[in-house]
Amino acid sequence: MKKTIISLIFFLFSTLLYAQKQLSKTEQSVQQTVVKLFEALSNRDSVSLKNYCTADITLYEYGQAWNIDTLIMKAVTLNQAADFKRINTFDFINTTTDKTTAWATYRLLSAITRDGKQSTVQWLETVVLAKEKKQWKVKHLHSTLIKRS
């Protein structure tokens, strides 16, 4: 009897630990905007990149405040390696929305190949998005470097 009760308690706790909140369509849309922003960054596509950002986006990277022009210069214009490849993996921690504003926090792991060298970079990031013409756009992005290898 004691083994049965212990097994039942273990089963209940293990299912609670693995239960994940089902995302709403709005939360999914917010997360998809973040993923698409980084796909544009990986593809060095400045036109698509601008499409996922507000015109007045601010990015807080490496202790600096950037705008969209800074991001494009550093990630697209100066990034001319012929073998460049970046694969992003997201682990969303929290996504919150209201009618016109959304917030998301996530871990980002990027596997990067450039000039024959491979590296991985891990960040913890928070984004604030604004809804413009029924589309979510990144307005602020704060990035904290966790590990580079």
Q: How far is CA 19 from CA 15, 30, 36, 42, 68, in A?
A: 6, 21, 27, 32, 38
On whether the CB atoms of residues 148 and 119 are closer than 8 A, the answer is yes
CATH domain 24-148 topology: Nuclear Transport Factor 2; Chain: A, (3.10.450)
pLDDT of res. 3: 52
* Percent of the chain at pLDDT exceeding 90: 77
Q: Where are the domains of the chain?
A: 24-148
11-40 pLDDT, tens digit per residue, is: 444 444 445 578 899 999 999 999 999 999
pLDDT of res. 4: 45
Look at the pTM and tell me if it is higher than 0.75: yes
pLDDT of res. 80: 86
Helix (H) or strand (E) holding 132: strand 117-132
Which position has the token pair 């706790």?
13
Q: What strands lie across the sheet with 117-132, from one edge to the other?
A: 64-66, 53-61, 135-148, 117-132, 101-114, 85-97
